[in-house]
Amino acid sequence: MDRHTQRARRWFSGIAVGATLTLGDPVSAQEMRPRAAEPIPEPQLSERLAELVPTCLACHGENGVPNYAESPIVDGQHEGYLFIQLRDYKNGARKHEVMNEVVKDLSRQDLRELAAYFAARPWPRVDQPPVADENGVVERLLAEGQCRECHGADFMGDGTMPRLAGQLTAYLVSTMRAFRLKERTNNAAMGSLLDTFSDEEIEAIARYLGAL
């Protein structure tokens, strides 16, 4: 456990009083390979926010590769999407016991700055195993769900639409399932859409997108 993770664990244990904290399974070395060393921009943040960043990195990864399978890649994600998610964690529209606590005392401007900061960092390479779309089954599912209409031709997203290409497969599965089970309710349209897909289809889509 690196020092940021230790620090975050200590911090979380302080805030998550009475709550069972689940950070998911650590990601195995086989599943991910950290990207080659790249210069990461220095934070353009106030000292107060800069102090928070290590806490973020404890889960989301110092080099952008998350330390837990169900933590999403946030480095290089779109600023608008990150801001809306942080906003929703703050106002409770998106529920996550850790994230709700992390942002609860931050201002709207703080959230904007954090979103801009993480959006400016480069998207990491995680090299998830390639997926052969036998008989174009996944492509057909993506067409029927009109997924590209929002997430873009190459699933790179834009603005408040998240990039899905190369996102952690495990996170994609868990968040799509959470939409389906109405555990994640901050985009009801996704919940309704994913109701029309089976668990197996969700998993196949996640693997396909994760490998892009």
> CB 196 → other proteins: shortest distance, Å?
5
Three-state SS string over the chain comes to CCHHHHHHHHHHHHHCCCCCCCCCCECCCCCCCCCCCCCCCCCCCCHHHHHHHHHHHHHHCCCCCCCECCCCCCCCCCHHHHHHHHHHHHHCCCCCHHHHHHHCCCCHHHHHHHHHHHHHCCCCCCCCCCCCCHHHHHHHHHHHCCHHHHHCCCCCCECCECCCCCCCHHHHHHHHHHHHCCCCCCCHHHHHHHCCCCHHHHHHHHHHHHCC
Is residue 195 near other proteins by the rule CB under 8 A? Answer: yes
* x/- letters, 20..49, toward other proteins (CB under 8 A): ------------------------------
Could you say whether residue 111 binds other proteins (CB under 8 A)?
no
Q: Is 192 in the site for other proteins (CB under 8 A)?
A: yes
Q: Please report whether residue 193 would count as binding other proteins according to CB under 8 A.
A: yes
Binding status of residue 162 toward other proteins by CB under 8 A: no
Site residues, other proteins (CB under 8 A): 78-80, 83-84, 93, 112, 115-116, 119, 140, 143-146, 148-150, 152-153, 158-160, 185-193, 195-196
